[in-house]
C-alpha cells in the first residue's frame, strides 16, 4: 500500500502494538545517516517504545547518543527499539512503568542517570487519548487521568531531570496539531496538548539563563499504535486523508525534528519554539 492510500480498517486494544498494525509504520530510521550531532549525549525518551518515540530513539542513537526509553508495558515494542538502538552502536536502557503516577516519573530519571551516567536530553513524548462524541461521555476520572499521563508526567519527569541538566541540555515536548486548532472529538487530549505548548513557552523562559533550551514538536496525523488502538476502524481508514498532502506522516518523518532541536550545532538559537509538522495544514500557534 502506498502512502497516499487509505489505511485498511483495523482496531486494537489500547495502548496498541506495532506488530499488529497494517501497514507497518516506518519507524526504524533505516535510511537515516547520522553525522555525530549528538555524540556523547545521554537521552531519556518517554513513550519511546514505538511510533515517534522509537524513531527518535533510533535517530538519536545514530547521531551518537545513548538512550533510555520509558514506557508503560509494551515490552515487545520496547525490546525492538532497544535492539535498533544497540545496532547503531549505542546503549539503550528500558524503563517500564505507569508515568501517569508520580513515583515512576522519578524512577525513570533516576534509572537513566544511574545506568547511562548522566542526562542532558529529555524528550517528553508519552500520551493517551480517547475520542468521544460528546463532552458528557468523559468522566471526571478520565479527564484527570488524561492530564496525569499527558501533562503531569511532563512536569514530573522534567522536574526530576532538572538537577541533572546543565548548560547545553535540551528538553523537547511532544505537542500536537490539536493544541493549535482543537478537536471536537478529543477535548481532553487537545486540552492537554494546549497545556504542553504553554508549559514549553514558560519553561523556555525560566531556563534560558541556565542555557537549557526547551522546545516542542506539534505533529499532525502520524501513523503510530495510538491510532488503531483509540480510533474506530472507519476513522482509521481515513486517517490523515484531510491534510493537503493527503496522507498521515510516518514516525521516521518526525524524528528529524527532534534531532534538530536536540542538536546544539543546528538549533542553538531555538528555545520556546513549536515546530509544526502538519502536512500542509495551516494552524496558528
Q: Active-site residues: which are they?
A: 189
Task: Quote the DSSP letter at residue 152.
Answer: I
Residue 101's CB is within 10 A of a number of other CB atoms, namely: 15
User: How far, in Å, CA of 258 to CA of 186, rounded?
Assistant: 25
User: How far, in Å, CA of 230 to CA of 112, rounded?
Assistant: 30
With vertex at residue 75, the alpha carbon angle to CA 192 and CA 65, rounded to the nearest 5 degrees, is 75
| C-alpha 171: how far from chain center | 12
Coil, strand or helix: which one is 147?
helix
| Cell triple for 190 | 487537545
Q: For 10, list phi and psi in degrees, rounded to 5.
A: -165, 160
First to last CA, the chain: 34
83 close to 6: Cβ distance less than 8 angstroms = no
User: How far, in Å, CA of 224 to CA of 103, rounded?
Assistant: 27
| Cell triple for 244 | 493537503
For the CA atoms of 184, 186, 189, 192, the dihedral, rounded to the nearest 10 degrees, stands at: 10
Task: Quote the DSSP letter at residue 120.
Answer: -
Burial class (CB in 10 A: 0-12, 13-18, 19+), 140: exposed
Amino acid at each position: 500500500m502506498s502512502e497516499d492510500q487509505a489505511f485498511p480498517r483495523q482496531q486494537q486494544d489500547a495502548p496498541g502494538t506495532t506488530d499488529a498494525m497494517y501497514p507497518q509504520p516506518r519507524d526504524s530510521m533505516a535510511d537515516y545517516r547520522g553525522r555525530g550531532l549528538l555524540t556523547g549525549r545521554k537521552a531519556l525518551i518517554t513513550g519511546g517504545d514505538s511510533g515517534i518515540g522509537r524513531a527518535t530513539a533510533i535517530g538519536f542513537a545514530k547521531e551518537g547518543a545513548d538512550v533510555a526509553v520509558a514506557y508503560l508495558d509494551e515490552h515487545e515494542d520496547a525490546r525492538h527499539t532497544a535492539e535498533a538502538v544497540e545496532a547503531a552502536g549505542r546503549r539503550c536502557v528500558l524503563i517500564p512503568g505507569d508515568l501517569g503516577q508520580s513515583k515512576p516519573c522519578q524512577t525513570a530519571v533516576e534509572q537513566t542517570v544511574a545506568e547511562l551516567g548522566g542526562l542532558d536530553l529529555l524528550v517528553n513524548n508519552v500520551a493517551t487519548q480517547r475520542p468521544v462524541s460528546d463532552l458528557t461521555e468523559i468522566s471526571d476520572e478520565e479527564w484527570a487521568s488524561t492530564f496525569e499521563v499527558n501533562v503531569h508526567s511532563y512536569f514530573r519527569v522534567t522536574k526530576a531531570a532538572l538537577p541533572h541538566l546543565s548548560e547545553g541540555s535540551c528538553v523537547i515536548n511532544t505537542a500536537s496539531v490539536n493544541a493549535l486548532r482543537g478537536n471536537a472529538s478529543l477535548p481532553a487530549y487537545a486540552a492537554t496538548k494546549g497545556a504542553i505548548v504553554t508549559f514549553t513557552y514558560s519553561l523556555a523562559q525560566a531556563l534560558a539563563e541556565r542555557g537549557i533550551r526547551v522546545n516542542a514538536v506539534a505533529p499532525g496525523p502520524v501513523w503510530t499504535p495510538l491510532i488503531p488502538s483509540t480510533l474506530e476502524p472507519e476513522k482509521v481508514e481515513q486517517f490523515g486523508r484531510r491534510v493537503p498532502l493527503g496522507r498521515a506522516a510516518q514516525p521516521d518523518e518526525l524524528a528529524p525534528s527532534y534531532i534538530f532541536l536536540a542538536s546544539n550545532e543546528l538549533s542553538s538559537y531555538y528555545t520556546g519554539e513549536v515546530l509544526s509538522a502538519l502536512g500542509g495544514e495551516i494552524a496558528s500557534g
